[in-house]
Amino acid sequence: MSFDVVGVGENSVDTVFRLPGAVAPNAKLPILARQVSPGGQVTTALATCASLGMNAAYIGTFGDDEEGAMLREALEQYGVDTSHSVVREVRNRSAMILVDEHSGDRTVLFERDPRLALRPDEIPTGVIARAKLLHIDDVDPDAAMAAAQVARRAGVVVTSDLDRVADHTTAVLAEVSVAILAESLPPALTGERDPERALRALRQSCDAVLCVTLGSRGSMMLIGNELHHAPAFPVTVVDSTGAGDVFRGAFIFSMLRGDVPDEILRFANAAAAFSCTREGALNGVPALSDVIALRRRTR
């Protein structure tokens, strides 16, 4: 069986705590609400792809506990194939997400057993080689780069979810066709604070299409030396957890659909905005009709 999109990377079960304000040193805040929600960078992006109508598969590691089973079931309900993943006899990755009730901003505290690391020899090369696109993060960089190398040899497009600078960041970027980066990453790599200047500086060492998410300021993409920017869609933010992951899934959908660059950014921005109106990561994944309706309401 072949897939439109295959993802290699992080999954998580999140416990989301809604708080009356931002967490500060020595603060004592009441919990207004608590919700257990499936999430994870790559898995949320894949659930978005599947919800929008694409055939998606996940390659990663789950724990053999109840949370791992819950997450696999949730992904399968979205239509994401998990049959090529691995189950370890450890607890699944989990996170506590502290959400400011007023702004929707969040703080993420996570826990992942080192035994959950995916090894390069666990990558099903045939599954990746037959896909249209591979989406990776850098949670297990050796496995991610091994998967990306398989994809590139097969002519498969590789997209990324990178949000931090580490020793392996440059090596991962070298394997990517379309780098979708968190806002903090280009400045950290280049020393340039302005997003456009940071992308142009990064262009000197990276040939990939470069895209950066900018939160309430939308998103920006550099293709060669041609810059594209699309503003964010105005919504009342309930929870921004998973918004960047939904953006990536919608970006992939729009790109594989053949949309022009400005439309890719607008579509992905709309999907991310919709996700911010819902609590949790997978719980905020939109259907195609949700994205279309939001775009109509905000014209």
- The pLDDT score that the predictor gives to residue 240 is 77
Please state the φ and ψ torsions of residue 56, each to the nearest 5 degrees. Answer: -125, 150
- The pLDDT score that the predictor gives to residue 236 is 86
Is domain 5-297 given the CATH code 3.40.1190.20 in the classification? Answer: yes
- The pLDDT score that the predictor gives to residue 45 is 96
| pLDDT at residue 228 tops 80 | yes
Among the listed residues 197, 175, 171, 178, the one whose alpha carbon sits nearest the alpha carbon of residue 186: 197
pTM: 0.93
- List the single range of 85-94, 104-113, 124-133 with lowest mean pLDDT: 104-113
CA distance 76 to 78: 5
The full set of domain ranges for the chain reads 5-297
In whole angstroms, how large is the CA radius of gyration of the chain? 18
CA distance 180 to 186: 10
| pLDDT at residue 299 tops 80 | no
- List the single range of 111-125, 132-146, 271-285 with lowest mean pLDDT: 271-285
CA distance 250 to 261: 13
**pLDDT tens by residue, 184-202:** 999 999 999 999 999 999 9
Which helix (H) or strand (E) is 42 found in, with range?
helix 41-52
